[in-house]
């Protein structure tokens, strides 16, 4: 310790003897400036990201059906109140003109959707949506085209049966459509409440009913995807239903879609626009002009199963 | 159409310039009878190491040269008779001796320079040493050289680190505290060519990118070219970082050791009989033996790296250098150590680089260096106790190269070279849903010719052509012209200009915390191209400071950015028996586009005297235009930094305070050394959401919308790409070292403080949103970079 104190004293003495006041003041000023600029906390405020109005489309064409349930909407600036009364674009308010392959779409004011009973959707056909509308005073225009899958997709075991929770036997079997490698499945219980929630699940077994109620939607709506499969194999594919897709006791409805490339691009990219480091990127939305959302086609089929207590 | 023709014309012009220069210079090759050639080597007298970049000239003349990477120099057209040869090198006593120059039978000179007994630095320039301006003139444009002591003097983050030291230079910026990857003049890390003793290295970073793999104690010299580099370098668009490792002490045993909070390292040098030396170093972290044992949930992790170099002088004209460099990282992390079934993450990777180099001197004017090297990288990433996931990535590079340098006359040097490279890249990933098996064997044949010509004392012209032929599943062939011109404006200032075309045949997929994946150009990935234009101005200010100003413009074609939507666009190559896909091509891995970087850099350096350092400022802008990004509109990439300010200062605290910045460094048994490193950069551009829209993820989820208490199911839509900037970055680091010399050995305990001001620099933002009261509410939480972080260590030399 004595040696250390001698050392410090010696050092201080040396500095004192040799110090040049002008240089010392310059050095201190510079050091202080560097420290000050190197101090502090940086705030982050992203509220002013520039907003651009868009025509938002949510439209699916199903082979074997007529065109219906097409929603034309608008987007909203993030971080400001959403006026849901202006969400849907209507012919009267927004001067909407919408066609598919040149056939005008009609507007249903009750469901706020567009339809055409004149168009029966066929397999392997291309349909082009064309929309004109006025949003925020700006005349917007967009087009998008979809090519429907070829015939073939169907669920083989539409009534899958009853299973105990976490059963490894829960499996849906389907035949693919030739040329379609993407299949999406919605797995949703017919009833989803805190009363029929599976509290002794294998993932989160410390949940109480308040936790479940808070995130009920997230537990209720689940899905599975098979992508890139060999659609020409001529054999059936099995889709195991996993435990993290069934959070409630009771009956479930599985809707399977053999989706076209627009369907695939939307499902795989639109909900995943944030990267691991927080940065955002653009999804693949197949629209020309001022459109976003999804205009896709699919073959749909339905199955059911039950989770017993 | 007009633009295309204009570009073609400019390339032709460059070729024409080269042909004219070659023709003019050919008449100058013949040497007159009353003149001779003087050649030799320059060594460090205390260690026997050859000195790179030492200036050798005849007093009172412009007849001179600089030593090359082997410490060899040639001065042609020297008048026969007696003259005084002067050799100077930073940190060494000046050598001055009268020598007899004979027309024939000249011997190879062996000049030993005595290191100053001082700490660092050099006495001020005197009349017969090469001026600072002259040294600056001889340096290629946009090129910096750092010695081991200069790298180690910069305050460090826990461990000395080469790449982090380079980040203190203008034009070279990091992306965050957690990455030592370099972004040079708007270029990306995969556009930097890393060479270690001539062998290429692909992954110069340790785990998570925090530390680089170069052990600074084993470094002899680092050359960094930020652009406009010569035809001897290729396959990268932006920069060259050429590391030369220690040869070893040919005179005596020498060692040093360093112990810090997380690692210990040792370097040993020893002579081998009378004709060679060996240098070896090894470094290993020990957090797996310390922190991991006592801190719950701390990952079991370590890295080590080391190198071994043997240099042997077979005779006066033949040198053989054997070199090995290796690094290894091992990470093992169990998410819940109390449960045997808990998932376990295993990740290990490492480099292995070996080379053999044979230098031969034919006569005195023709030098040959032959290099055979292997550079390999392997990474393995796997998960246990979870669904199957195993990833393996390998790179293996075998290179044979031959370089020839012919000193035709005192004002004309010719360099030729050729190389053959065999590079194999594999990437294998297996999961329960499918597999990726990519195998990319490639071959590259290159050749170059460079003519250096000084038509008169004011001009220095270098013209080169580089031929490259790259074979993968496609063949790419290019001939790239490179031209550099230097002009002396006065005794103390000079102008420099360089231009060149550069091609690159490999790109990497950079991943946060994980090793990058390299992919070769081929059917689906086009080769990238850049054209550099650089104008430089060097000025010596009062025998003390050196001012360097560089303006540059760099255009890019076919550069690549990882496709964030690859999951939706990958195309299966074939199928497993169960129908699951296997991907073997790199189709759609990257998005392709063009861009440009331009800027101005100012650097005020003080390399000599008791206090050394530099102040740098860089003003720059990088713009990209990619058809598939930002709807085809121009955007600013994330590495863009409008302004960067650097300040580095090293010296004895007493000298700093007393204002004796320019005096020679005093010899002292003990000294307190201060190091400061300050950096300021404009914030990083990022993309944030700008609007929301209400579309269900799946059609059948319509009830999700009605079940939502406030608003329907919504999606976020990003605003213009990289239109928002994170707050500016600033940091001040400090180091204090007490150095005590005990004669045969020395001790230097040190204190390093990273981020002295504890500034909370934002690394990235964690974004979340929810619907509430009829509004989509954003929640942004900044994730900060490294805080105030002190560390201690000690260096022992004997």
Interfacial A residues in 121-150 facing B (CB < 8 Å): none
Note the pLDDT of residue A13: 56
CB contact under 8 A, B774 and A82: yes
Residue with token string 């998005």: B591
- In this predicted structure, the answer to whether residue B29 has a pLDDT above a threshold of 50 is no
- In this predicted structure, the answer to whether residue B18 has a pLDDT above a threshold of 70 is no
Both B28 and B112 in a single domain?
Answer: yes
Does the CB of A19 have a partner CB in chain B at under 8 Å? yes
Structure tokens at B721: 């790409």
Note the pLDDT of residue B8: 37
Indicate whether B167 belongs to any domain: yes
- In this predicted structure, the answer to whether residue B210 has a pLDDT above a threshold of 80 is no
- In this predicted structure, the answer to whether residue B672 has a pLDDT above a threshold of 60 is yes
- In this predicted structure, the answer to whether residue B571 has a pLDDT above a threshold of 60 is yes
Which of B385, B673, B691 to mutate: most A Cβ within 10 Å? B691
Note the pLDDT of residue A189: 96
- In this predicted structure, the answer to whether residue B77 has a pLDDT above a threshold of 60 is yes
Set of chain A residues whose Cβ sits within 8 Å of the Cβ of B663: none
Set of chain B residues whose Cβ sits within 8 Å of the Cβ of A220: 704, 707
Each residue of A230-284: pLDDT tens digit?
A: 998 888 999 999 888 999 999 999 999 999 999 999 999 999 999 888 899 999 9
Alpha-carbon gap, residue A133 to A74, rounded angstroms? 10
Both B169 and B105 in a single domain?
Answer: no
Note the pLDDT of residue B155: 67
CATH of the domain at B213: 2.170.130
pTM > 0.80? yes
Rg (CA), chain A: 30
Note the pLDDT of residue B335: 73
Angle at B105 (CA atoms; ends B104, B106), nearest 5 degrees: 95
Check residues B152 and B42 and name the one with the higher pLDDT: B42
Both B99 and B172 in a single domain?
Answer: no
- The residue among B126, B157, B178 that closes a domain is B126
Angle at A61 (CA atoms; ends A59, A65), nearest 5 degrees: 135
Alpha-carbon gap, residue B676 to B415, rounded angstroms? 41
Alpha-carbon gap, residue B444 to B425, rounded angstroms? 13
How far from A308 is each of A158, A208, B277, B307, CA to CA, in Å? Answer: 18, 20, 78, 64
Distance from CA of B674 to the nearest CA of A (A): 12
Set of chain A residues whose Cβ sits within 8 Å of the Cβ of B660: 18, 20
Interval B50-63 mean pLDDT: 84
Rg (CA), chain B: 28
Both B14 and B107 in a single domain?
Answer: yes
Q: What is the DSSP string of B338-397?
A: T-TTS-EEEEEEEEEEEEEEEEEEETTTEEEEEEEEEEEEEEEEEEESSS-EEEEEEEEE
Both B225 and B176 in a single domain?
Answer: yes
CB contact under 8 A, B762 and A44: yes
CB contact under 8 A, A75 and B676: no
- In this predicted structure, the answer to whether residue B26 has a pLDDT above a threshold of 50 is no
- In this predicted structure, the answer to whether residue B243 has a pLDDT above a threshold of 80 is yes
The residues pairing with A172 across neighbouring beta strands, listed in sequence order, are A239
Distance from CA of A42 to the nearest CA of B (A): 6
Note the pLDDT of residue B297: 67
Which of A51, A274, A301 to mutate: most B Cβ within 10 Å? A274
Which of A18, A202, A294 to mutate: most B Cβ within 10 Å? A18
Domains by residue range for chain A, with CATH: 55-147 (2.60.40), 154-259+299-308 (2.60.40)
Note the pLDDT of residue B707: 62
- In this predicted structure, the answer to whether residue B486 has a pLDDT above a threshold of 70 is yes
CB contact under 8 A, A34 and B676: yes
3-class secondary structure for B82-144? Answer: EEEEEEECCCECCEEEEEEECCCCCCEEEEEECECCCCCCCCCCCCCCCCHHHHHHHCCCCEE
Distance from CA of A301 to the nearest CA of B (A): 11
Indicate whether B71 belongs to any domain: yes
Interval B767-786 mean pLDDT: 86
Each residue of A71-124: pLDDT tens digit?
A: 999 999 988 888 888 999 999 999 999 999 999 999 999 999 999 999 999 999
Alpha-carbon gap, residue B771 to B112, rounded angstroms? 76
CB contact under 8 A, A233 and B575: yes
Note the pLDDT of residue B759: 92
Question: What is the average pLDDT value for chain B, to the nearest integer?
Answer: 86
Both B120 and B174 in a single domain?
Answer: no
Set of chain A residues whose Cβ sits within 8 Å of the Cβ of B760: 40-42
- The residue among B221, B240, B259 that closes a domain is B240
- In this predicted structure, the answer to whether residue B661 has a pLDDT above a threshold of 80 is no
Size of interface A-B (CB pairs under 8 A): 267
Alpha-carbon gap, residue A13 to A8, rounded angstroms? 8
Which pLDDT band holds residue B390 (cuts at 50, 70, 90)?
A: confident
| Nearest to A113, CA basis, from A146, A142, A72 | A72
CB contact under 8 A, A228 and B581: yes
CB contact under 8 A, B767 and A293: no
Note the pLDDT of residue A2: 55
Both B116 and B150 in a single domain?
Answer: no
Indicate whether B95 belongs to any domain: yes
- In this predicted structure, the answer to whether residue B81 has a pLDDT above a threshold of 50 is yes
% residues pLDDT > 70 (chain B): 89
Can you point out the beta strands (E) in B489-572?
493-504, 506-509, 517-520, 528-541, 545-562
CA A37 to chain centre: 41
Interval B20-47 mean pLDDT: 66
Note the pLDDT of residue B122: 37
CATH of the domain at B36: 2.60.40.1120
- Determine how many CB atoms are found less than 10 A away from the CB of residue B435: 18
Distance from CA of B525 to the nearest CA of A (A): 20
Both B13 and B90 in a single domain?
Answer: yes
How far from B573 is each of B158, B566, B570, B663, CA to CA, in Å? Answer: 47, 15, 9, 69
| Closest CA in chain B for residue A45 | B780
Interval B350-357 mean pLDDT: 95
Set of chain A residues whose Cβ sits within 8 Å of the Cβ of B688: 46, 49, 280
Distance from CA of B532 to the nearest CA of A (A): 30
Interval B732-741 mean pLDDT: 91
Indicate whether B359 belongs to any domain: no
% residues pLDDT > 90 (chain B): 50
- In this predicted structure, the answer to whether residue B125 has a pLDDT above a threshold of 50 is no
CA dihedral B29, B30, B31, B33 (to 10 degrees): 180
| Closest CA in chain B for residue A81 | B775
- Determine how many CB atoms are found less than 10 A away from the CB of residue A256: 26
Q: How many folded domains does chain B comprise?
A: 2
Answer for the pair A278, A223: CB distance below 8 angstroms, yes or no: no
| Nearest to B240, CA basis, from B327, B142, B138 | B142
Both B63 and B179 in a single domain?
Answer: no
Q: Is A149 exposed, middle or buried (0-12, 13-18, 19+ CB in 10 A)?
A: buried
- In this predicted structure, the answer to whether residue B97 has a pLDDT above a threshold of 70 is yes
Note the pLDDT of residue B27: 43
The partner residue sitting opposite B782, judged by closest CB among A44, A181, A264, is A44
% residues pLDDT > 70 (chain A): 87
Which of A29, A33, A39 to mutate: most B Cβ within 10 Å? A39
CB contact under 8 A, B695 and A293: yes
- In this predicted structure, the answer to whether residue B123 has a pLDDT above a threshold of 80 is no
- The residue among B190, B205, B240 that closes a domain is B240
**H or E stretch covering B8:** helix B2-26
Answer for the pair B637, B681: CB distance below 8 angstroms, yes or no: no
Each residue of B405-431: pLDDT tens digit?
A: 998 888 899 999 999 999 999 999 888
| Nearest to A141, CA basis, from A72, A197, A227 | A72
| Closest CA in chain A for residue B762 | A42
Each residue of B270-292: pLDDT tens digit?
A: 999 888 999 999 999 887 777 66
Residue B66's domain comprises 2-126
């Amino acid at each position: 310790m004595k040696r250390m104190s001698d050392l410090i004293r010696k050092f201080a003495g040396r500095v004192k003897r040799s110090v040049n006041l002008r240089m010392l003041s310059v050095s201190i000023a510079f050091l202080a400036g560097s420290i000050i600029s190197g101090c502090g906390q940086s705030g982050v405020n992203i509220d002013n990201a520039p907003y651009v109005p868009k025509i938002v489309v949510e439209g699916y064409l199903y082979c074997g059906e007529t065109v219906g349930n097409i929603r034309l909407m608008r987007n909203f600036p993030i971080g400001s109140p959403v006026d849901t009364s202006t969400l849907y674009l209507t012919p009267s308010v927004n001067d909407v003109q919408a066609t598919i392959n040149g056939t005008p779409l009609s507007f249903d004011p009750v469901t706020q959707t567009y339809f055409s009973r004149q168009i029966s959707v066929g397999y392997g056909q291309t349909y082009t949506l064309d929309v004109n509308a006025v949003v925020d005073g700006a005349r917007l225009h967009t087009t998008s085209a979809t090519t429907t899958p070829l015939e073939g997709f169907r669920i083989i075991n539409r009534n899958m049966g009853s299973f105990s929770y976490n059963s490894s036997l829960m499996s849906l079997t389907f035949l693919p459509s030739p040329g379609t490698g993407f299949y999406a499945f919605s797995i949703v219980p017919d009833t989803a409440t805190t009363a029929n929630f599976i509290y002794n699940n294998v993932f989160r077994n410390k949940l109480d009913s308040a936790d479940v109620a808070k995130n009920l939607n997230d537990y209720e709506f689940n899905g599975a995807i098979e992508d890139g499969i060999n659609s020409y194999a001529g054999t059936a594919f099995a889709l195991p239903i996993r435990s993290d897709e069934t959070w409630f006791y009771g009956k479930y409805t599985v809707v399977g879609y053999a989706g076209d490339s627009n369907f695939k691009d939307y499902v795989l990219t639109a909900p995943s626009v944030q990267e691991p480091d927080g940065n955002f990127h653009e999804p693949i939305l197949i629209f020309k002009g001022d459109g976003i959302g999804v205009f896709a086609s699919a073959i749909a089929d339905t199955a059911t199963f039950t989770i017993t207590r | 159409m007009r633009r295309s023709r204009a570009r073609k014309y400019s390339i032709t012009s460059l070729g024409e310039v080269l042909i004219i220069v070659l023709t003019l210079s050919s008449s100058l090759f013949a040497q007159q009878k009353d003149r001779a050639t003087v050649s030799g080597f320059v060594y460090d007298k205390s260690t026997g190491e050859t000195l790179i970049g030492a200036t050798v000239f005849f007093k009172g003349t412009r007849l001179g040269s600089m030593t090359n990477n082997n410490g060899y120099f040639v001065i042609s057209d020297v008048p026969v008779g007696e003259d005084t040869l002067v050799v100077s090198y930073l940190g060494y006593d000046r050598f001055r001796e009268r020598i007899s120059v004979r027309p024939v039978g000249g011997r190879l000179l062996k000049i030993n320079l005595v290191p100053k007994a001082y700490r660092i630095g050099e006495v001020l320039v005197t009349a017969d040493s090469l001026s600072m301006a002259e040294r600056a003139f001889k340096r290629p444009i946009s090129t910096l050289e750092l010695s081991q002591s200069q790298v180690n003097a910069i305050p460090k983050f826990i461990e000395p680190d080469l790449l982090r030291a380079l980040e203190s230079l203008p034009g070279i910026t990091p992306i965050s505290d957690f990455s030592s990857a370099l972004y040079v003049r708007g270029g990306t890390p995969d556009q930097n060519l890393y060479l270690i003793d001539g062998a290429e290295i692909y992954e110069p970073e340790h785990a998570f990118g925090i530390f680089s793999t170069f052990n600074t104690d084993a470094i002899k010299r680092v050359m960094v070219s930020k652009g406009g580099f010569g035809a001897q370098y290729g396959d990268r668009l932006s920069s060259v970082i050429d590391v030369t490792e220690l040869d070893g002490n040919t005179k005596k045993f020498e060692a040093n050791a360093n112990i810090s909070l997380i690692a210990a390292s040792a370097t040993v040098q020893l002579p081998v009989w009378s004709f060679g030396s060996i240098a070896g170093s090894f470094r290993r972290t020990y957090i797996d033996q310390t922190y991991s044992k006592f801190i719950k949930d701390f990952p079991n992790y370590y890295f080590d790296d080391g190198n071994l170099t043997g240099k042997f002088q077979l005779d006066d004209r033949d040198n053989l250098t054997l070199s090995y460099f290796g690094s290894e990282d091992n990470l093992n992390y169990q998410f819940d150590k109390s449960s045997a079934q808990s998932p376990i993450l295993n990740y290990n990777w490492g480099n292995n680089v070996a080379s053999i180099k044979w230098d031969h001197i034919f006569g005195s004017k023709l030098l040959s260096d032959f290099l055979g090297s292997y550079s390999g990288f392997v990474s393995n990433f796997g998960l246990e106790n979870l669904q199957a996931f195993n990833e393996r990535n390998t790179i293996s590079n075998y290179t044979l190269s031959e370089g020839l340098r012919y000193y035709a006359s005192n004002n004309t040097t010719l360099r030729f070279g050729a190389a053959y490279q065999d590079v194999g890249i594999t990437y294998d990933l297996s999961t329960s849903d499918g597999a990726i098996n990519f195998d990319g064997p490639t071959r590259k044949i290159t050749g170059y010719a460079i003519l250096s010509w000084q038509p008169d004392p004011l001009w220095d012209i270098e013209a080169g052509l580089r031929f490259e032929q790259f074979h993968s599943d496609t063949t790419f062939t290019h001939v790239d012209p490179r031209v550099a011109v230097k002009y002396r404006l006065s005794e103390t200032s000079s102008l420099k200009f360089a231009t060149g075309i550069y091609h690159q045949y490999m790109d990497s997929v950079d991943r946060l915390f994980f090793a990058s994946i390299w992919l070769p150009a081929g059917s689906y990935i086009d080769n990238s191209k850049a054209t550099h234009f650089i104008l430089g101005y060097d000025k010596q200010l009062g025998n003390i400071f050196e001012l360097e100003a560089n303006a540059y413009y760099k255009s890019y074609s076919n550069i690549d950015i990882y496709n964030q939507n690859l999951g939706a666009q990958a195309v299966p190559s074939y199928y497993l028996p169960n129908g699951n896909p296997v991907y073997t091509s790199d189709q759609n891995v990257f998005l392709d586009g063009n861009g440009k970087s331009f800027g101005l850099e100012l650097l005020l350096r003080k390399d000599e005297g008791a206090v050394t350092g530099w102040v740098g400022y860089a003003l720059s802008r990088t713009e990209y235009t990619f058809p598939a990004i930002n709807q085809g509109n121009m955007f600013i990439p994330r590495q863009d930094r409008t302004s960067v300010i650097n300040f580095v200062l090293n010296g004895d605290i007493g000298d700093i305070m007393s204002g004796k910045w320019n005096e020679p460094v005093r010899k002292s048994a003990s000294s307190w050394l201060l190091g400061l490193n300050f950096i300021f950069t404009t914030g990083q551009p990022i993309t944030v959401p700008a609007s929301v829209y209400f579309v269900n993820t799946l059609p059948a989820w319509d009830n999700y919308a009605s079940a939502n208490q406030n608003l329907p199911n919504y999606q976020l839509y990003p605003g213009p790409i990289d239109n928002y900037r994170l707050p500016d970055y600033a940091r001040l680091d400090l180091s204090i070292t007490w150095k005590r010399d005990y004669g045969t050995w020395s001790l230097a305990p040190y204190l390093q403080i990273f981020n002295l001001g504890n500034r909370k620099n934002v690394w990235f933002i964690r974004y979340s949103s929810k619907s509430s009261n009829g509004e989509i509410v954003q929640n942004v939480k900044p994730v900060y970079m490294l805080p105030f972080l002190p560390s201690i260590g000690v260096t022992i030399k004997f």
